[in-house]
Structure 1
């Protein structure tokens, strides 16, 4: 019988993962930053946003690549870094560190089992020229949409039209592997990382918030520390600009009806 993981347990596991990432990065000279809702939580609540249930961090691509090539070496615990470069059945262009003593059932078509996790997003340099950035984003977005269409399952919660689109897309995209799509995304995303004229940065592989998460490189040039659930973790030194760029007035709470988790999963112990 499956033993469900409560929200409180889920957060404890996530914090254990975050502590391990923090410790590993400090010992190995790898820079990470709290990101997205986790960064808001650190600034506004000194911990989780009350209705949130995940942890997001980001790394510049050079640090991201090092982290995923080294984290799993000689580990003696239940934690494991996973990405498309490590697991052939993985389904995202960003990575995770999971606790293999747990299982999460998410709403996707991925056959690969994963555990409770912390998300890690790669940050890549972007061209200073707006037209070049627009062209790059358009090319990557084609593959982002393909990845979504391959991974999102038919569901009773969706309309008949949306389910029909998913079925047709799944059939048409069946010959193309997720690995192939992710390789295309990554190849495009890193294409400006060696360009010294680049002055912007973003997690363009995922780009959840679109142009709202395009930042000046200087926003992530240095780190500071903020409290999150009783401990301090690394954040962008210009975190105020990062958050206002993404969310506007980030200190203002959203309306009550929007104070809900946007994740759909079930977590349980193995």
Structure 2
């Protein structure tokens, strides 16, 4: 039976209108984390705060002051179990978006989206643009250096690149920076996959089949090295089992949430040994073009059109 989330984790966005817009949005995303934490605890699933969110927990006791999203990671097996139950467990104002649920989802991993807010990252996006929390799957990488770097990581590289090459051209096609981006993308389409111009589904299904085969192979590796999965762009860090497990809970905002066992080792790998130092002012930037914590009825209907 679905939990009564309006009682467990009430939505207070209308009570927070006197706060700065960014802070209002952070509190909405914090509620998403509380819901996901509750579901993971209920079903004995493992997760931990990730990236900038982990850094915020350790350095600030909550969000990095200028941050506008939230990141967690899950081992592949727990990630798959979570996705299998998410539709039944999440409250109606939240939903999980990924390439398996939404064509051109915008990311190859999963995001839990809020249906009643807005974050604009791209003016021509086809994906849902509600405030979100990222969930990154973590795969088990081989102990063998050559298998890990010449097979598993190279396959990850090509999976991500093929997804990018196969994405549609940005509209308007010939306006501003879109023109240069579209020319580059078109060149890659022609050089690597000429039929990507004509047959998206063929490329997508071929790439998905390769991904699934690789994931099943990596599940058989000894659980000694964890790294960002095939689905996660850019991040290549590998962590030892004991860096992550067993996870423990520390303060984040007004609650306690799971973090890696040796979060110092993880943060040092991600951000360097000086991770506790504040970055210069010009690097304290948000991801969004604009954000909005409370929508009109018309804005909410437009935001969710096609995403039920």
- TM-score normalised by L of structure 2: 0.76
Structure 2 distance, partners of 1:216, 1:152, is 39
Structure 2 distance, partners of 1:207, 1:80, is 20
Structure 2 distance, partners of 1:156, 1:101, is 31
Determine if the alignment matches structure 1 residue 258 to structure 2 residue 254.
Answer: no
Structure 2 distance, partners of 1:199, 1:219, is 10
**2:247 alignment partner in structure 1:** 223
| Partners of 2:32 and 2:133 within 8 A in 1 | yes
Kindly state the Cα deviation for residue 151 of structure 1 after the two structures are TM-superposed: 6.1
| Partners of 2:21 and 2:291 within 8 A in 1 | no
Kindly state the Cα deviation for residue 81 of structure 1 after the two structures are TM-superposed: 1.9
* CA spacing shift, 1:152–1:56, aligned 2, 3 Å: farther
SS of the residue aligned with 1:71? helix
**2:60 alignment partner in structure 1:** 45
Q: 2:155 aligns with which of 117, 120, 139?
A: 139
Kindly state the Cα deviation for residue 256 of structure 1 after the two structures are TM-superposed: 2.0
**1:188 alignment partner in structure 2:** 214
SS of the residue aligned with 1:72? helix
Structure 2 gaps of 5+ residues are 1-19, 301-308
**2:69 alignment partner in structure 1:** 54
* CA deviations over 1:52-84 (Å, ceiling 9, x no partner): 111000000111001111022155431112223
Structure 1 distance, partners of 2:289, 2:210, is 27
SS of the residue aligned with 1:41? helix
Kindly state the Cα deviation for residue 91 of structure 1 after the two structures are TM-superposed: 4.1
Determine if the alignment matches structure 1 residue 166 to structure 2 residue 185.
Answer: yes
SS of the residue aligned with 2:105? coil
Residues matched between the structures, number: 265
For residues 92-107 of structure 1, the aligned pairs below 5 Å read 92-107=107-122
Structure number having the greater strand percentage: 1
| Partners of 1:93 and 1:182 within 8 A in 2 | no
Query: Which structure has the greater CA radius of gyration?
Result: 2
Structure 2 distance, partners of 1:30, 1:200, is 19
Across the aligned residues of Structure 1 and Structure 2, the Cα RMSD in angstroms comes to 2.8
- TM-score normalised by L of structure 1: 0.85
| Partners of 1:95 and 1:120 within 8 A in 2 | yes
